[in-house]
Chains A and B, each alone.
Chain A
Amino acid sequence: MPNVTVRGPVAPHTAEALDPVFTVAGLSVFYGEYEAVREVDLTIGNREITAMIGPSGCGKSTVLRCFNRMNDLIPGARAAGKIMYHGEDLYGAHVDPIEVRRRIGMVFQKPNPFPKSIYDNIAYGPRVNGMKGKMDDLVEEALTQAALWDEVKDKLKQNALSLSGGQQQRLCIARAIAVKPEVILMDEPCSALDPIATTKIEDLMQELSRDYTIVIVTHNMQQAARVSNRTAFFTADVDERGERHGRLVEFDETSRIFTNPTDKRTEDYITGRFG
């Protein structure tokens, strides 16, 4: 297996991940009749950080929410095309979305800890999934991996909502880790946080990418440049009826996207000329 955890250029240059966890082919997402995203092709490399960037309404979050079938919960949402997860069709008839979500965790834009104790927040996933093992150890392990243990070890019984925003978000990451997923999806995880908390989360992502495959949607181009191995740039086309349809413009190693993009629209976006 090639070593793909090295950040920066992986020689020789390959736009597509060599060891893909997800292979997306011709993915279109509809909300009712409305086609929100049109024909996306990309690959998500094992234990890499893949960033999805682009202006608002370009469908990057929509694509992200297909990876754990979160869109199933929206009435009328439908995905066409294929997402293969280790060669298995994620939208196959036999696939149980609940099992999918257990293997593919998610962290949301706004920290959303449950209004329960810190301990119960972490223990929730393992309990729900009937995981074996000592719960105290599971909780400590998850909090340690999320770099939160030292800050909260003396107040595990306290309500999670008493934590700061940055701590809450790391708690949500710990909560996702606690069910031992393979992939962690992050939907603008730092957009509600201050710069210091953002730095902590970014460091944490680097740390976690040794063990987990991470896909992050971000508005912050510097963030994508700092943390990711590969970057997918999305934008929205406006059709003759004035409807916006997201599409993938360019997908490549992050260093290429930011130094030598092949598409004019990518270049315009990363240099701040639009979006």
Chain B
Amino acid sequence: MSLARSRPRHGEQVIKAILLVAALVSVATTIGIVVSLLEPTIRFFGQISAVEFFTSTQWGPLFEPPHYGVLPLVSATLITTGIAIVVAVPLGLGAAVYLSEYARPRVRKICKPVLEVLAGIPTVVFGFFALSFVTPLLRGILPFEIEIFNALCAGLVVGFMIIPIVASLSEDAMTAVPSGLREGSYALGASRMITSLRVVLPAAFSGIVAAVILAISRGAGETMIVYIAGGGQPNFTLDLGKAMQTMAAFIAQAGSGDVPIGTVDYNTIFAVGSLLFVMTFAMNYVSARLVRKYREVYE
């Protein structure tokens, strides 16, 4: 009797090849994006000085005379994302703690899918919701004046949009905390709230950070909401009631116009895109390092 393979297993090879292709597609897409961003970006910096790009506070590449200072776009992106985080992290974490630690199983079974539906709403819908509902509401209740198009509303609604990401992924991380840790805490006379805050949250910390990072990336790259509700004026200001243009919103605006290939205007779009890509990538990298450093390993 031989222990050699008795019949060839061709099927396995085929499946392996298919799976490999599936994995390669997304890798290839990423590489393709980087390459397609890189080439026009390099040409852009051949035409416009990097010093102007990174230090000038005026942006208006499509105007005459053109200005190429990216800072207004960067600041608008940081501001709207910042507002979004301020909204989404407390609300998302609150929802996660509720669903994971307080809600009865039946409530959780209903609530979680509903929450996730929120993540599936097209962002263009959020955009018009912001412009036609939230902005008028804010104008009614805020003691100070805000413009029709403004960063505050855009940031708030981006925040609402990313709540499900924070909530759902954080809830997964908290549910994954071994129930033995909770029991250990309850057995010492800790209440549900203390157990959630001092045992479950720290134990789920790395997963929660990952959730927040993903939410920030989504928020920073968010286009339609800030395009519709934030307006198209690149203002370099901290006044949240003013219109602002984020990097993604500029790309959408410029990209939807008829910009001839190879011109400075065309290359500008890619330069801004590259910068956005680098910013999100850097953030992901730093946070991945942080998570590894502060991870509380159990088991």
Contacts and interface: CB of A to CB of B under 8 A. Distances in A.
B46 interface: no
B189 A114 contact: no
Contacts of A175: 184, 188
A166 interface: no
Contact of B181 (A68, A99, A112, A129): A112
A161 B297 contact: yes
A176 interface: yes
Given A75-B104, A128-B194, A161-B298, A114 B186 contact: no
Interface residue tally of chain A, by bracket? 20 to 34
A179 interface: yes
Interface string B174-201: 0000101111111111110010001100
A116 B178 CA distance: 14
Which secondary structure dominates where chain B touches chain A? helix
Interface string A100-113: 01100110101011
A129 B198 contact: no
Interface string A159-196: 10100000000001001100100000000000000000
B183 A73 contact: yes
A115 B202 contact: yes
Contacts of B202: 115-116
Give the residue among A75, A114, A176 with the most B Cβ atoms within 10 A.
A114
B296 A115 contact: yes
B96 interface: no
Nearest to B105: A75
A172 B297 CA distance: 17
Interface residues of B, number: 23
B203 interface: yes
A212 B102 CA distance: 33
A125 interface: yes
Contacts of A129: 188-189
Contacts of A172: 184
A70 interface: yes
Contact of B187 (A70, A99, A113): A70
A115 B187 CA distance: 16
B198 to A, nearest CB: 7
Given A98-B189, A101-B189, A128-B190, A115 B184 contact: no
Nearest to A100: B189
Given A128-B194, A161-B298, A112 B189 contact: no
B203 A115 contact: yes
A70 B203 contact: no
A108 B186 contact: no
Given A115-B296, A128-B194, A101 B180 contact: no
A70 B188 CA distance: 11
Contact of B189 (A73, A102, A108): A102
Nearest to A105: B187
Contacts of A128: 185, 188-190, 194, 198
A110 B180 contact: yes
Contacts of A159: 296-297
Given A75-B105, A124-B198, A128-B198, A112 B184 contact: yes
A176 B189 CA distance: 10
Nearest to A125: B188
B185 A124 contact: yes
B173 to A, nearest CB: 13
Given A75-B104, A128-B198, A115 B298 contact: yes
A114 B183 CA distance: 11
B147 to A, nearest CB: 49
Contacts of B188: 101-102, 105, 124-125, 128-129, 175-176, 179
Nearest to B188: A125
A253 B186 CA distance: 32
Contacts of A73: 182-183, 186
B183 A179 contact: no
B4 to A, nearest CB: 43
Contacts of A99: 189
Interface in A68-84: 68, 70, 73, 75
A114 B189 CA distance: 15
A106 B189 CA distance: 10
Interface string A119-151: 000001100110000000000000000000000
A75 B187 CA distance: 17
A115 B297 contact: yes
Contact of B183 (A75, A112, A113, A124): A112
A125 B185 CA distance: 8
Nearest to B191: A98
B105 A112 contact: no
Nearest to B187: A106
Contacts of A112: 178, 180-181, 183-184
A114 B187 contact: no
21 contacts: A73-B182, A75-B105, A99-B189, A101-B186, A102-B188, A105-B188, A106-B183, A108-B187, A112-B180, A112-B183, A114-B185, A115-B181, A115-B203, A115-B298, A116-B202, A125-B189, A128-B188, A128-B194, A129-B189, A161-B297, A176-B188
